[in-house]
Amino acid sequence: MYEQITRNKWRSFFLVLFFLCLIFALTWAFGEMTGWGTQGLIVAVVIAAAMTFGSYYASDKIVLAISRARPVRKEEYPYLYNVVEGLAIAAGLPKPRCYVIDDTAPNAFASGRNPKNSVIVVTTGLLQKLNRAELEGVIAHEMSHIKNYDVLVQTLAVVMVGVVALLSDWILRSFLWGGGRRRSRDKSSGNAAAIFIVVALVLAILSPLVAQLLRLAISRKREFLADANGALLTRYPPGLASALRKLAADKEPLEAANKATAHLYIVNPLKDIKGRVNKLFSTHPPIEERIAALEKM
């Protein structure tokens, strides 16, 4: 299990590194297409940094607002507080704040930029439909996301996808506004300029799709890692496995979820991924594979 955790961490690291290389390639292409050169690169980097900084500090507030989550009092759900407190102590983490989404679809997610500023969000359906062992398995899974800084990685990945899409749009717009023609007039070699324009356009068109696939790959790999760490935390893998079976059997979509936040939940809240092609765009690995991995522990 520890070898699998190490492999997943390294794979996630290289996927994020690829994101950074892709963003750099797009900023360079944007500067060349517009003829701005170094100035264009500086502008793009400043905007990317500003977006990253803002998302880093406001990500949890944004997600909570989008998900329509509300803070929950200990008197309202005392057993939820007890489970969260006990697992936080076991994991050696500060106790996350607890939030609830008033929805009968069972699901949960964690958010926050670090363990000191973390939250765990569950739906009322999850609290109603799971027993104590299953609830502990789900909370342990989310606690593992917090401990491993998975939420931070996911937030950065989302920001990178947005930056890639923004830069790609700039490149395409600069071409439509005549940037490609200005570029070709500035260079003595028309053939070389034409080749560059084609490469830049292909990069601009395909980069958002590639970035999205990579973001989803990071999400899927980290779900396996959180399952393993969560089972290690509770010392009872069947609890999480049973919870995943119940969540998979429940076909009710979560109304508060959308494609922007779906990757944060323990299982896909949209319930609309079918077929091999669409699985490429799924934010989660197949539940059957996750259950099989837990049963082998």
Report which DSSP code applies to 265.
B
Q: Which two tokens stand for residue 260?
A: 């922007």
Q: Cα separation of 18 and 32, whole Å?
A: 21
DSSP 128-187: HH--HHHHHHHHHHHHHHHHTTHHHHHHHHHHHHHHHHHHHHHHHHHHHTTHHHHHHHH-
Structural contact between residues 80 and 72, judged by C-beta atoms closer than 8 angstroms: yes
Active-site annotation holds for 142? yes
Spell out where the chain has E strands.
70-71, 97-101, 108-111, 119-123
Given a contact cutoff of 8 angstroms between Cβ atoms, the answer to whether 194 and 48 are in contact is: no
Burial of 92 (0-12, 13-18, 19+ CB in 10 A): exposed
Nearest one of 188, 197, 199, 156 to 51, comparing CA atoms: 156
Tell me which DSSP letter residue 263 carries. G
Structure token pair of residue 31: 């500067």
Catalytic residue among 134, 136, 142, 223: 142
57: its two tokens: 């500090």
CA separation for the pair 199, 180 (Å, rounded): 12
- Sheet of 97-101: strand order equals 70-71, 97-101, 119-123, 108-111
By annotation, the residues acting in catalysis are: 142
